[in-house]
Amino acid sequence: MNRQRQGPGPGGLPGAGIVDDPDTAAGAEFDYIVIGSGAGGGPLAANLARAGMRVLLLEAGTDAENFNYQVPCFHGLATEDSDYSWEFFVRHYENDDQQRREDLDSVAYGVQFARQLMSHASEHVAREVIPGPEVQTLDEIKAFIRDQAWGHHASCTCKMGPRSDPTAVADSNFKVHGTQSLRVVDASVFPHPRFLHRHRGLHAERKATDAILADVPLRKRAQAAKRRIRQRAGRQGPRPLRTTTM
């Protein structure tokens, strides 16, 4: 099915639209591709489109939303809603102690499995940073997990920091070290776990939008400005913001 929404799009963007068919977006040209429309990706794509950029926003799922997602006071219920829950936490036992042991064992065995995989790529891996070579036995791995793991919200997997920091993935402008056109804009870049809410992703998005637009050459900015003016005047055909679901 190929469906194009007409009229104002997200945030009241003039001329913005959504394409549900990936094939429709395949032949188009875009200035930026944003993967994921969460608290970081969605506003980022919208603000780049508002600035006149042509943006492709990729998101999994459908357009269907119920009250648990639409009404802010029900958002706490969305994590248990079968339509939205990713089932991060699985309860296998009635006994709390037994359940905690299995959760810890699962993470510990995951560390061992990851190490086993990396052993086949040793020529490409200089060294293990976390948990590190000093953590070897199963009991040591479990102790590390108990002391270091934090599971309220997935975060800090692509830490922001200088290139001199071996654990840093992105710089202060959200660029992934060693790349030219790849950025990470969400809770992944936080250096340390904190109480996370959507507004933190929004703060990251605002800074990222400024950083991205600051890197745009003047000629391209002028083209985007003209495109934005045409949008507001209702004279442009192709729409600047498109989303395709996978």
- Residue numbers annotated as active site: 153
Q: How many Cβ atoms sit within 10 Å of the Cβ of residue 85?
A: 12
Total residue count of the chain as it appears in this document: 246
Cα–Cα distance, 115 to 29 (Å, whole number)? 40
3-class SS at 177? coil
Give the Å distances, CA to CA, from 202 to 38, 196, 207: 9, 11, 9
Query: Could you check whether the bond before residue 131 is cis, i.e. omega within 30 degrees of 0?
Result: yes
Burial-class residue 70 by CB neighbours within 10 Å (0-12, 13-18, 19+): exposed
Calculate the alpha carbon distances from 150 to 76, 107, 129, 144, 178 in Å. Answer: 19, 12, 18, 11, 28
